[in-house]
Amino acid sequence: MSTSLQDSINEAYQSSSLTDTHKNDILKAIDEINTGALRVATHSNGTWIVHEWVKKAILLYFKVKQMAVIQAGDLNFFDKIPLKKWTGEEGVRVVPHALVRYGAFIEKGAVLMPSYVNIGAYVGEGTLVDTWATVGSCAQVGKNVHISGGVGLGGVLEPLQAAPVIIEDDVFLGSRSIVVEGVQVKKGAVLGAGVTLTASTKIIDVSGTHPVEHKGVVPENSVVIPGSQPKSFPSGTYNVNCALIIGVRKESTDKKTSLNQVLRDFQVPV
């Protein structure tokens, strides 16, 4: 993407009034996000890099768009952001009523059961977004991810420097699990049903002789279940949410076989 577009978006974000050039560049940036040519965050040399100017373009898009009736078959909505339209040429299976906002990208081979994907999100090839799952604004989901029913992936647009939720390739997210506040789930990890992860949630590896604590990141191939630990308050001691790493998913050339095996080995509820 040309530097001139990035410069224009940064300039527009600081301006009190938008020129026609600014508006055209905002629409161009959203079009590029919609086709996957631009991403809110990209992976380079083992590190995820957040592109603040892309998030600025999304925020500006809300500013330039006007409220309007949006028609989807017999259904009418009233909003600023249109829905993504499907032609059948995208190679994506979209089951009614899967809703994707314009400005989100769904890669070929993905399957969307009745679910919701917000603007700025990226969903990779071969990923299943199961029934009533939500993929929040700017969330980045890799390839061959299984997002089970009712999973909630948080969205983030502000503050600009905040990292989005990132789910790397070959991850399994059990039903009703929640990942928010920019938490990263590394490649091949398995989250059991009901695991809730925020930026402050303690993720404790209890598979060894001594606990090892993580925050904000689930290590690669980890098998995670819900947990709790005691915490003292003025009124007494109570158990608060945490997540427990109980083992490591073994590498396998057949990821589906590996996943089935790890669910059996660790008796992880999904």
> What number does CATH give the domain 83-249+258-264?
2.160.10.10
Q: What is the pLDDT of residues 35-73, one digit of tens each?
A: 999 999 999 988 999 999 999 999 999 999 999 999 888
Would the pLDDT of 254 be above 60?
Answer: no
Mean pLDDT value of segment 204-215: 96
pLDDT in tens, 147-168: 999 999 999 998 888 999 999 9
SS3 content of the chain, % helix, strand, coil (to 5): 20, 35, 45
Q: Mean pLDDT over all residues of the chain?
A: 93
pLDDT bin (cut points 50, 70, 90) of residue 18 is: very high
Q: Kindly tell me if the per-residue pLDDT of 112 is higher than 60.
A: yes
- Domain locations in the chain? 1-65, 83-249+258-264
Q: What pLDDT, on the 0 to 100 scale, is given for residue 250?
A: 76
Q: Which CATH class is domain 1-65?
A: mainly alpha
Q: pLDDT-derived band of residue 255, with 50, 70 and 90 as boundaries?
A: low
Higher pLDDT, 10 or 253: 10
What is the per-residue DSSP string for 55-116?
A: HHHHHHHHHH---EEEEETTEEEEESSPBP---S-S--EE-TT-EEBBTBEE-TT-EE-S-E
Same topology, domains 1-65 and 83-249+258-264? Answer is no
Contacts for 153 with CB less than 8 Å, ≥ 6 apart: 133, 134, 135, 136, 139, 141, 147, 165, 167, 179, 180
